[in-house]
Amino acid sequence: MSLSTQTDSRANAPATSAEIDASCRAPVLFLFTSAALWLVAAAAIGLIASLKMHQPLLLVRGAELTYGRVLAAASNAFLFGFAAQAILGVTLWMLSRLGGTPLVAPLVALLGAVVWNLAVTAGVGGILAGDSSGYEGFEFPGYAVPALLIAYTFIALCALATYFQRRERESYVSQWYLLAALFALPWAYLTVHSLLLVDPVRGVAQAAINLWAVAVLREIWLGGSALAVIFYLVPKLLNRPLHNRGYALLGFWMLLILGGWTGLYEGAPLPLWMVKLGGFASLLMIFPLFVVAWNLHATANGQVVLGAECRVLRFAGFGLFAYLTATLVMAMNPLVSAALQFTHYTAAVKHVAFYGAFSMAMFAAIYHIVPRLAGTDWPCENPMKWHFTLASAGVLLVALPLAVGGWKQGMGLLDPSVDFNQISRTALMPIRVSTLGEILWLAGSLLLVGNLVRLLARRFCPCAALAAWVESNGGAR
Amino acid sequence: MNADTQKLSSLPPEAAEPKANAGAFPIWIIVALAVVAYAGTVRFDENDGGFSAQVFAPYVSTKQLEDFLPKDPERIAFLEGRKLYTQNCAACHQASGLGSAGQFPPLAGSDWVKTEGANRIIRLVLHGIQGPIKVNGLDFNNAMVPWKDNMSDQQIASVISYVRRNKDWDHSFSAVTSEQVKKIRDTEKSRIAPWSAEELLKTSDK
């Protein structure tokens, strides 16, 4: 937007942080706020799905709220309402900051974000109305997809233009991961849309494509974005350079090459060579996992990352350790898949990856970035502290019971002397505990929205009286 | 801008944007990766089933699907023989080839089938048989219709080959060709009546 500043004498000098933040303000704040609102929506719908696992007679009046629909609606609201917008917000801001250049065409990005929200609303509504495409992770009905892609193109073009206008020539690790994620989503989505919905391929290739695309979303899109945030925040907040660029390069390319393959898990209904290759890719993921862990360990150089004093770093640290745990457990998948593939264990692992690793990293990013855009720090740290407590307890209360319960379930299914109904009954208690976890997560998400609204009202609300009202009702300062 | 700068002052000072120290791929990781990749390739190779087109290539036409079917001539003849046997013979001799006691003689393990040459059984099928017959020491007295007008040489050859070579019945005697059948049909063209067992035993099986 501020082309005049680029043509003057300091054309190649990096822009100041204040200039960059001002250029990102409208689109990124809009993306983060709507991401937080979708997070609440996803958590609320997800809570219904969780309740239905042990209260099957709840909300059974119409087809809209049957288990199959609410589960898909919750997962898609999370992926495309929350995750996509949080990632895009981080991408726009971080590519500008790390490139030392203001965001290109912020109003185009803002327009894209508005259209994106409309498309996601149509998609989630379509799923609840029964128009789901039926492919896991990509359940949005076909009519929501063109708008999604157009909106995404708007935002992605701004991000790419910003990257190519960067004044810091050498790119940083976070930029690689964010650019990979920027391409991974449309790549996976267009593949699924064109090969499974528009002109479907035949037979076993359908399952293979769906599993591959889900893995691309999980490993490269969500995982890569989480790593981008962690690789940014850890050196930044500890004020130390990243230990080794070569390690990061190895980890990055291995994730990119292996990511999609890991979806073809051992036990999937596919030709044997595919699942063997998938299992092998999962195992090889130990290498990028190791270099990421080692690189950050050496960067921290003894300073605490997990449970750090700094709230933002605490979120990032939780995300990092959840990422390492989830990836390690998934690498072990070929060993346990035969016993556990049809149990709650898989749901537990996915929960750690999506909520423990990815979401916590995004919360760290939001808590770090928003005050800079608003130009004022969080009014008080307590709600942030509570959000961390609720969110981490929520993740653990869902993941741990389901993992243990799923393990028991798997062992029971392998034992021919155990009655199937008995196995289902023993799985009930872990599911009830996981519902409690979902409630805590929902409460944490509401706190995030509350925090954002308070800060934004304080900073931007034109009506001082309303601002004062929000302030006085927002709890003790 | 001024307003922003003023507000920004409430934020704690920020460190410079992060940079990465220069460094190369650690070589031992590449070596370890190569070793693991080799093991993975071997494992992969054990599980790829040679990438048989019959398993992995989707077919686009019926013709292509037929091309995937087995081409082994013996197997094709066996399948054809089994089809003819099921349609024409199994009603009396049963799918098991055991016949039914006192009514229809068995083919499985029958001393009439287990001959070195197949000429006698070809004659029997061509012209039918009537009257008392001893099979494996048991007496039967019934009639079998002639098949010369209802089956081609090739079909008779197929069905007799099926009976003589059926592994389920522990048979592995010589197969019959359509030339063999044609030769007998031609030389015995003038025959009208069905054979009797006594008469047939006087002919040679070779």
Kindly state whether residue B135 falls inside one of the protein's structural domains: yes
Kindly state whether residue B77 falls inside one of the protein's structural domains: yes
Give contacts of A376 with chain B, Cβ < 8 Å.
Answer: 7-8, 10-11
A165/chain B closest Cα distance in angstroms: 17
The number of residues in chain A equals 477
Beta bridge partners of B135: B138
Kindly state whether residue B191 falls inside one of the protein's structural domains: yes
In 3D, which of A377, A391, A381 has the Cα closest to residue A476? A381
The reply to whether B18 touches chain A by the CB within 8 Å rule is yes
Whether A18 sits inside 8 A of B43 (CB atoms) is no
Cα-based angle A344, A348, A351 (whole degrees, multiple of 5): 135
User: How many other CB atoms sit within 10 Å of the CB of residue B43?
Assistant: 14
User: How many other CB atoms sit within 10 Å of the CB of residue A74?
Assistant: 24
Whether A280 sits inside 8 A of B43 (CB atoms) is yes
Whether A172 sits inside 8 A of B7 (CB atoms) is no
For residue B22, what is the nearest residue in chain A, using CA coordinates? Answer: A245
Number of domains in chain B: 1
**Minimum-distance CB partner of A243 among B21, B36, B37:** B21
Q: What span, in angstroms and rounded, lies between the C-alpha atoms of A2 and B164?
A: 93
Beta bridge partners of B130: B143
Name residue B77's amino acid: A
Q: Enumerate residues 6+ apart whose C-beta is below 8 A from A38.
A: A77, A78, A81, A82, A85, A120
Kindly state whether residue B50 falls inside one of the protein's structural domains: no
Q: Are B93 and B101 in contact (CB under 8 A)?
A: no
Q: Are A218 and A314 in contact (CB under 8 A)?
A: no
**Minimum-distance CB partner of A273 among B26, B32, B47:** B47
Tens place of pLDDT for every residue, chain A, 477 residues? 444 444 444 557 888 888 999 999 999 999 999 999 999 999 999 999 999 988 888 887 888 899 999 999 999 999 999 999 999 999 999 999 999 999 999 999 999 999 999 999 999 999 999 999 999 999 999 999 999 999 999 999 999 999 999 998 889 999 999 999 999 999 999 999 999 999 998 888 899 999 999 999 999 999 999 999 999 999 999 989 999 999 999 999 999 999 999 999 888 888 888 888 898 899 899 999 999 999 999 998 878 777 677 889 999 999 999 999 999 999 988 888 888 888 999 999 999 999 999 999 999 999 999 999 988 888 777 888 999 999 999 999 999 999 999 999 999 988 888 888 888 888 899 999 999 999 999 999 999 999 999 888 877 766 655 656 666 665 444
Beta bridge partners of A242: B20
CATH number for B95:
1.10.760.10
Structure tokens at A378: 């969080």
User: How many other CB atoms sit within 10 Å of the CB of residue A143?
Assistant: 12
Q: What span, in angstroms and rounded, lies between the C-alpha atoms of B198 and B202?
A: 7
**According to the model, what pLDDT value does residue B8 have?**
38
**According to the model, what pLDDT value does residue B3 have?**
43
Beta bridge partners of B20: A242
**According to the model, what pLDDT value does residue A463 have?**
64
pLDDT band at B57 (very low <50, low <70, confident <90, very high): low
Q: What is the dihedral of CA A148, A154, A160, A162, to 10 degrees?
A: -140
3-class secondary structure per residue, A162-226: HHHCCCCCCCCHHHHHHHHHHHHHHHHHHHHHHHHHHCCCCCHHHHHHHHHHHHHHHHHHHHHHH
Whether B21 sits inside 8 A of A22 (CB atoms) is no
For residue A288, what is the nearest residue in chain B, using CA coordinates? Answer: B29
Whether B4 sits inside 8 A of A375 (CB atoms) is yes
Q: Are A80 and A148 in contact (CB under 8 A)?
A: yes
Whether A246 sits inside 8 A of B26 (CB atoms) is yes
**According to the model, what pLDDT value does residue A462 have?**
63
Give contacts of A287 with chain B, Cβ < 8 Å.
Answer: 29, 32-33
* Longest alpha-carbon distance in chain A: 81
**CA-to-CA separations, A59 to A123, A341, A349, A397, in angstroms, rounded:** 22, 29, 28, 24
**According to the model, what pLDDT value does residue B101 have?**
85
**According to the model, what pLDDT value does residue A62 have?**
82
The reply to whether B21 touches chain A by the CB within 8 Å rule is yes
A166-197 burial by CB neighbour count: b if 16+ within 10 A, else e? bebeeebbbbbbbbbbbebbbbbbebbbebbb
Q: What span, in angstroms and rounded, lies between the C-alpha atoms of A399 and A382?
A: 26
ipTM: 0.71
Q: Are A400 and A352 in contact (CB under 8 A)?
A: no
Domain that holds residue B112: 72-202
Kindly state whether residue B21 falls inside one of the protein's structural domains: no
Whether A375 sits inside 8 A of B23 (CB atoms) is no
**Minimum-distance CB partner of A273 among B25, B48, B58:** B48
A99-118 burial by CB neighbour count: b if 16+ within 10 A, else e? bbbbbbbbebbbbbbebbbe
Listed range (A228-232, B19-23, B127-131) with the worst mean pLDDT:
B19-23
Q: Are A220 and A179 in contact (CB under 8 A)?
A: no
Mutation target among B1, B8, B54, B64 for the A interface, most CBs of A within 10 A: B8
